[in-house]
Structure 1
Amino acid sequence: MADRLRDLLDLVLSSLDDDVDGAALAQRAHFSRDHLDRLVAAATGESPVALRRRLLLERAAWQLRAGVPPAEAAALAGYGSVAAFSRAFSRAYGAPPSAYDGDVQLAARNGIHFHPPAGLLIPGAPASGDLTERMVAHHLDRVRELLRAASALEEAELARELRPGLVLVWFEGEEPSAALMCERLVYTLEVWVAAIDGREVPAPREGAWLPRFERAAKDFARIAKRIRDRGAYDDAFVDALCEPPQSFTYGGVLSHVLAFGAVRREALAGVLVQLGADVSCGDPIVWEAAHR
């Protein structure tokens, strides 16, 4: 959404507690009323006054659900009487304020809604990738960052047992050093790729971490996309690499890799920082902002 439109939406939001009309909103935006109406209507399908009125009703619905009396909600929404508020609310929600306990959001094609306690919910750009794609991409980028940081350190430092007794994955034993954490981050990804694709498992500790990881990461991203596109999360396969062979769902495996991978990678991040490496905070929110 364009920055200017966001400014105009923020203007509407900031006016919710003020006694203003369309002309006053236009004056605050330094536009004529007709120009402001055209801009906002073209982008949202609603005039500034209609958008503001709907957001006030949505906020009132949230307040009513939180126990605010109808008379107070009516005053906060800018209605001169409880009766007028009750009529407007009942038309919008199909129930009177005194009996309402439903959804806060009213139907709106633009997807712009009041977000408690005092904000806006604004839809993102379409086709930006679903949650599976986002989580897989973030995990792989984060591991890649940490392996690069580890490759700049001395082997003796990576082998130091800074976390004696630490168990990160319940069936894999202790991981006291950065070196072992790096190896297991890479090797477990290689193992699961091999299990799903029906390949032989490579021997552990063969080759540098980064090249091995890049190969496994490419395959894992491909596998995750295939599962996502087919909606195959509940499909099962037999992992012949287990002893004895076991059956797993694809969704369970993806969740396992991402969940325990996150535990291990962030433990590794802490050890690398202790060893003097410079790594980012690893927050998916910060990562997402950098990749827009």
Structure 2
Amino acid sequence: MTDTGRDRLRELLDAVLDDDNDTLDDMAAGAFSSVHHFSRQLSKSTGESPVALRRRVMLERAAWELQRGQSVTDTAFAAGYDSVDGFTRAFGRAFGHPPSRLGSATARGHWLPAPNGIHFHSPTVLYIDGPTSAEDSAGDVLALLVRHDLDDVAALLDAAKNLDDETARRPRLPGHQPLAWSGPEESIMAALVHLVVDKRPWLATIEGADMPTDPAPDTISELIDLHADLAPRWLALTRDIDRRQAWGDRIVDALCDPPESFLLSQIWAHVLTFSAHRRLIIRWMLSDAGLPVDHLDPDPIIWHRQQSGGFA
């Protein structure tokens, strides 16, 4: 996503969390390091020893698996324990109850306290909760900005859906490239693609999924469908992180080349900044194409008033 060079922290974490690295010696070998140097580097970077970090993350994974119906026995051996009794004792010390009783674990999620914001992430950890009214988000700046962004993207896609292909792809801002590493965005279609698709790799990174390999949508209709899929997931993820006050957590992004580490707060600030820029640029390009956009006011104040019936 950005190009800053080698990420040694990610290499160390890979060695800690590799399924085959059950011992400290295995971890150090996986990081091409001595045990002493590996332990010192990892502990200094994360505030947690390699063994403690691996044990905690494996227990988080175990809690997630148990919540989804896997047996205690299968979970114990998958977590690297030699016996169910040993796993049960470790789980009880960490979560405050045995693995056979999941009520409180389900209520609070599967993450344990950590000094570094490094946690187990899974492809299906997200939830999509019920709709939140405009009044509910009025006192929450982040919630308002995220909901406005998603709604505004949908409105711009709807406005652009009747453009013919030539009009949508005609260069209108030669040389326009908001990010040096993401390619030019000279046409309505190019800017819309980035506006929608650029959330997809972030979602994959945080969900722990593979990088999407299917090509970017080639029509505005396809972009509308993709946005309809991504928007509720993005909103649910925002609410989940905020509910846990996890904005200081760090994601090790293995999808970057080379991999990088990002704070969740950095990711949302990045997405909102460049989405706001693109939405304004697309308005200008739609107007240049002869498509009226006066009814698409970009101001979140106007949007929020409309959402709340004009009383906010």
Q: Please classify the TM superposition score into its range, dividing by the shorter chain length.
A: 0.5 to 0.7
User: Which of 157, 160, 170 is matched with 1:160 structurally?
Assistant: 170
Change (3 A) 1:127 1:172: closer
2:251 is paired with a residue whose SS is strand
Which residue of 2 is the match for residue 30 of structure 1?
Answer: none
Which residue of 1 is the match for residue 229 of structure 2?
Answer: 215
1:199 is paired with a residue whose SS is coil
CA distance in 2, matches of 1:126, 1:212: 27
Are residues 1:205 and 2:216 paired?
yes
Which residue of 1 is the match for residue 31 of structure 2?
Answer: none
TM-score by length of 1: 0.55
TM-superposition CA deviations, 1:64-123 (whole Å, max 9, x none): xxxxxxxxxxxxxxxxxxxxxxxxxxxxxxxxxxxxxxxxxxxxxxxxxxxxxxxxxxxx
1:190, distance to aligned residue in structure 2 (A): 1.2
TM-superposition CA deviations, 1:142-169 (whole Å, max 9, x none): 1111111111111110000011111122
2:198 is paired with a residue whose SS is helix
1:278, distance to aligned residue in structure 2 (A): 2.8
User: Which of 244, 257, 261 is matched with 2:275 structurally?
Assistant: 261
CA distance in 2, matches of 1:127, 1:251: 18
Are residues 1:282 and 2:292 paired?
no
1:126, distance to aligned residue in structure 2 (A): 7.1
CA distance in 2, matches of 1:159, 1:140: 23
CA distance in 1, matches of 2:305, 2:192: 26
1:168 is paired with a residue whose SS is coil
Are residues 1:138 and 2:140 paired?
no
- Residue identity opposite 1:184 in structure 2: H
CA distance in 1, matches of 2:215, 2:139: 33
- Residue identity opposite 1:290 in structure 2: Q
Q: Considering only aligned residues, what root-mean-square deviation do their CA atoms show, in Å?
A: 1.8
1:247 is paired with a residue whose SS is strand
Segments of 5+ residues of structure 1 without an aligned counterpart are: 1-123
1:268, distance to aligned residue in structure 2 (A): 1.0
User: Which of 228, 251, 264 is matched with 2:242 structurally?
Assistant: 228
- Residue identity opposite 1:261 in structure 2: S
Q: How does 1:244-259 map to 2 (within 5 A)?
A: 244-259=258-273
Are residues 1:195 and 2:209 paired?
no
Which residue of 2 is the match for residue 174 of structure 1?
Answer: 184
CA distance in 2, matches of 1:264, 1:206: 17
> Higher Cα Rg: structure 1 or 2?
1
1:194 is paired with a residue whose SS is helix
1:170, distance to aligned residue in structure 2 (A): 3.1
Confirm or deny: 8 A CA contact 2:153 2:279 kept in the other structure. Answer: yes
Q: How does 1:3-82 map to 2 (within 5 A)?
A: none
Confirm or deny: 8 A CA contact 1:187 1:204 kept in the other structure. Answer: no
Confirm or deny: 8 A CA contact 1:132 1:228 kept in the other structure. Answer: no
CA distance in 1, matches of 2:205, 2:291: 33
Which residue of 2 is the match for residue 81 of structure 1?
Answer: none
TM-score by length of 2: 0.52
Change (3 A) 1:219 1:131: same
1:140, distance to aligned residue in structure 2 (A): 0.5
**Bigger shift: 193-202 or 215-224?**
193-202
Which residue of 2 is the match for residue 69 of structure 1?
Answer: none
Are residues 1:239 and 2:253 paired?
yes
- Residue identity opposite 2:176 in structure 1: L
CA distance in 1, matches of 2:138, 2:159: 29
CA distance in 2, matches of 1:127, 1:216: 20
Q: Which of the pair has the greater relative contact order for Cα pairs under 8 Å at 6+ separation?
A: 2
Change (3 A) 1:130 1:159: same
CA distance in 1, matches of 2:137, 2:209: 33
CA distance in 2, matches of 1:272, 1:264: 12
2:182 is paired with a residue whose SS is coil
Which residue of 1 is the match for residue 307 of structure 2?
Answer: 291
1:248 is paired with a residue whose SS is strand
1:173, distance to aligned residue in structure 2 (A): 2.5
Aligned pairs, how many? 169
1:193, distance to aligned residue in structure 2 (A): 1.2
